[in-house]
């Protein structure tokens, strides 16, 4: 085999030197090139995972915020509806109060009108009595002038007054 190695032109010392050089190169590359590159890649992978985790947390927070804001919007809508309902109820109550006041005023006006009408009727009745009394006296004078006895005249006056009252 030694001959074969010589015939092929392989120098054993050179191969050993090349193996030592390759081992040194491998050590240097691993220590100063591959090591830092692998560390850098690991750091990069770690930062990407952290960023993804942070992104997932942010996304979850955004979903929570959206839910909370939707709840707040719904709560605001419920409060607005409640305020509107209260305002409508107050308006209906005010309408009832105004209607009651208007009915009371109209009743008062009607009562006053009835009272005034009764006063006017009593006044007219008094005037009518007075007129009737004058007519009775005139009728009595005519009857007297025609010859009715004074006793009958008094009796007729009393009967006429009873009829008027």
Task: Dump pLDDT digits (tens) for 129-156.
Answer: 777 777 777 776 766 666 666 676 677 6
- Give the number of other Cβ atoms within 10 Å of residue 45's Cβ: 10
pLDDT band of residue 103 (cuts 50, 70, 90) is very high
Q: What is the DSSP string of 37-69?
A: HHHHHHHHHHHHHHHHHHHHHHHHHHHHHHHHH
Domain count, the chain: 1
Return the sign of the alpha-carbon dihedral for residues 158, 163, 164, 165: positive
Q: Which helix (H) or strand (E) holds 30?
A: none
- State which residues form the domain around 98: 2-164
Give the residue with greater pLDDT, 119 vs 4.
Answer: 119
Question: How far, in Å, CA of 150 to CA of 137, rounded?
Answer: 13
Task: Dump pLDDT digits (tens) for 11-68.
Answer: 778 889 999 999 999 999 888 888 888 889 999 999 999 999 999 999 999 999 999 9
Question: How far, in Å, CA of 35 to CA of 43, rounded?
Answer: 12
What's the whole-number mean pLDDT along residues 82-102?
95
Return the sign of the alpha-carbon dihedral for residues 76, 80, 86, 90: positive
Instruction: Return contacts of 83-90, CB within 8 angstroms, 24+ apart.
Output: none
| pLDDT score recorded for residue 7 | 74
Tell me the pTM: 0.43
Q: What is the DSSP string of 77-125?
A: HHHHHHHHHHHHHHHHHHHHHHHHHHHHHHHHHHHHHHHHHHHHHHHHH
Q: Which helix (H) or strand (E) holds 151?
A: helix 150-164
Task: Dump pLDDT digits (tens) for 66-87.
Answer: 999 999 999 999 999 999 999 9
């Amino acid at each position: 085999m030694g001959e074969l190695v010589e015939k092929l032109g392989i120098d054993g010392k050179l191969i050993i030197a090349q193996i030592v050089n390759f081992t040194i190169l491998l050590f240097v590359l691993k220590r100063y090139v591959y090591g830092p590159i692998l560390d850098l890649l690991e750091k990069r992978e770690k930062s990407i995972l952290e960023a993804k985790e942070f992104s997932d947390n942010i996304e979850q927070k955004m979903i929570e915020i959206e839910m909370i804001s939707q709840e707040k919007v719904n709560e605001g809508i419920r409060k607005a509806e409640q305020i509107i309902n209260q305002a409508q109820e107050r308006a209906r109550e005010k309408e009832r109060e105004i209607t009651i006041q208007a009915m009371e005023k109209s009743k008062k006006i009607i009562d006053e009108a009835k009272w005034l009408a009764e006063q006017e009727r009593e006044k007219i009745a008094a005037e009518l009595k007075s007129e009737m009394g004058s007519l009775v006296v005139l009728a009595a004078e005519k009857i007297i002038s025609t010859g009715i006895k004074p006793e009958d005249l008094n009796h007729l006056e009393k009967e006429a007054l009873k009829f008027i009252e």
